[in-house]
Amino acid sequence: MDFRALAERMEAVEATPSRLEMAELLAQTLVRASAEETPPIAYMLLGGLAPEFEGLEVGLAENRVRELIRTRTGASQTQVDERMAEDGDLGLVAEHLWAESEGGQRALDAFGDTEPDPELAVRDVHGRLAEIGRIEGQGSQEKKKRHALRLLDQATPVEARYLVRFLVGQLRLGVADQTLLDGAAIAYAPDEAVDVGDDGMARPPTELRETMERAYNLTSDIGDVLGTAREHGIESLTGVEVTPGMPVRPMLAERGKDADEIFANVGSPALAEYKYDGLRIQAHVTSDGVELFSRRLEDVTDPYPDVVDQLEQALDGTAAVVEGEAVPVDPETGEIQPFQEIAKRRGRKHDLEAAIQEVPIHLYAFDCLWVDGEDLTREPLTERRQRLEAILGEHELVDVSSAEHVRDATELDRFFEDAMADGCEGLMVKKLGDDSHYQAGARGYRWIKYKADYHADLADSLDLVVVGAWHGKGRRAGWYGTLLGAAWDETEDRFKTVCKVGTGFTDEDLEQLDELLDPLTRGEPARQLDVDLEPDVYFEPEVVAEIHGADLTRSPVHTAARDDEGGIALRFPRFVRWRSAKGPRDATTVDEVRSMYYDQPTVDGPGAEG
């Protein structure tokens, strides 16, 4: 497939707000691709070059990409800046300048290179972008720039739009992995299995779609899953199991406000487990070594060599995939320390040994997904926990999480008080029984979070995606003064606004805003954003912040859970901290916002107590 055909398909996808239409466009794209082209196309449609856990990015600085645009088109810096102010997207800047320069000026002669081939193929583009991403070391930015220029020199205007976006790491298509799976299920299912609704839009066959999703959730490699389905059929994915080195997408919990609600969902007895405030880690331990993955599937092995050593000693030769919470502790007393202490390790390259001595990490393992070649995700929780306890040997900094079987509110609250006294956030309450298998990638009421601040009128803080900002005034002039936060609507795959937040920030937090948000700036709302307000700038939905407030109320301007009475907004919001371990689709959902609103004792309606 020519890259131009893929770019034109991306353009059509970018233009539609409909998830159903988007899935059909993706299906049409995948049908045209060969088996060899399918994995790279799958990665590229999601804005990547490889599975997330490989961490492969082009890594070319934006100022270098601007230089490339000027070199390729002959535009001045002023022209690029003016066009950027108008378009708000460097990809559109490139497309417009390419067109205005009537094909642009060839730039390769400056390096004494020969004339390039006139057309770009998808596999060639993917391979060359990946090659740029792997360039490291001294002078790497100049080397990346040279390779990128060779690629851009062959591009048409629409190809330039998406190539530039790949170079700066912001594709802006708004395609989520679940929508891509919808399209793949439509593309690879037998024609007679695809349902077409009254609106003329195709729907993916439920059973085949679930097969693909399970395979993806167990491997986190959407390119491999789609490539296998394309070549061997969707049914060939039914035997996919946990594979060491490929992180399993984590099972997630819902919130619970009281014992009655919790037991109504998980039944009695249930497993109550300490909820530690640490870094969730999935450890893959084999004879080849140890790999650690975060909740966002990032490889975090390097910052935590002590955890690697601790696991190797505790498992003593057993190959396993285990999940646990890495918690910072006081080296003298062993008492749990604030989460920020472990977060400081991320990205730290110097004085790591000193940090290990200053703040040791205690790993509390809570699940076991694979042992010595056996996939345990279909086994009930009791069996998985027994296997976990059996394989973990004694180690002063590795333990199985504290847990008890609880049967009623009295036992739950007693254990809750124990957890709080021991420095935990609260409890995780988990369903037992034959249907308590590990639901990779799913959020549901088989696991329920029960935290201390759920006893207040507002049940817990919200993890919101930063989607816009207003410029600061007075003391905050030159910084962003107020941020716009949004919850994620799982059903529509859109982000819907909940609040404007301008308090709670330290000077250090404010100084971080530019670094975090400037690369995500765009001139118009993200395609998947549902917003009525008009901030000074919009952002790609990427950064997540924990926000607390007094309560939730109806709002005429916010779009979360909107119905005839308006949307739902957070009153008196206050910034708490950045949630770097969470991606945008790990944020608080619109359904959670709606549930929290009706759980307030002052609100009548669904979920109110009277």
Residues involved in catalysis:
275
What's the rounded Cα separation, in Å, for the pair 310 and 317? 12
**Among candidates 444, 457, 438, 454, which has minimal Cα distance to 378?**
438
Q: Write out the E strands in 502-590.
A: 521-522, 529-530, 537-539, 544-548, 551-555, 567-571, 574-578
* Residue 574 φ then ψ, to 5°: -140, 130
* 241 Cβ neighbours under 8 A, 6+ residues apart: 218, 370, 375, 377
Peptide bond into 305 cis (omega under 30): no
- Count of C-beta atoms within a 10 Å radius of residue 261: 19
CA Rg, the chain, in Å?
A: 25
* Residue 593 φ then ψ, to 5°: -60, -45
Length of the chain: 610
Cα 160 to the center of its chain, rounded Å: 27
Contact 45, 180 (CB under 8 A): yes
What's the rounded Cα separation, in Å, for the pair 445 and 131? 43
Four-residue CA torsion sign, 8, 67, 516, 337:
positive
**Among candidates 462, 458, 443, which has minimal Cα distance to 257?**
458
3-state secondary structure of 533: coil
Residue type at position 430: K
Tokens of 294: 């975060």
- Count of C-beta atoms within a 10 Å radius of residue 210: 14
DSSP 261-308: HHHHHH-SSEEEEEE--SEEEEEEEETTEEEEEETT--B-TTT-HHHH
**Among candidates 92, 66, 99, 68, which has minimal Cα distance to 80?**
66
- DSSP 8-state class, residue 346: T
What's the rounded Cα separation, in Å, for the pair 72 and 85? 20
Tokens of 110: 């400056």
Tokens of 414: 């007693």
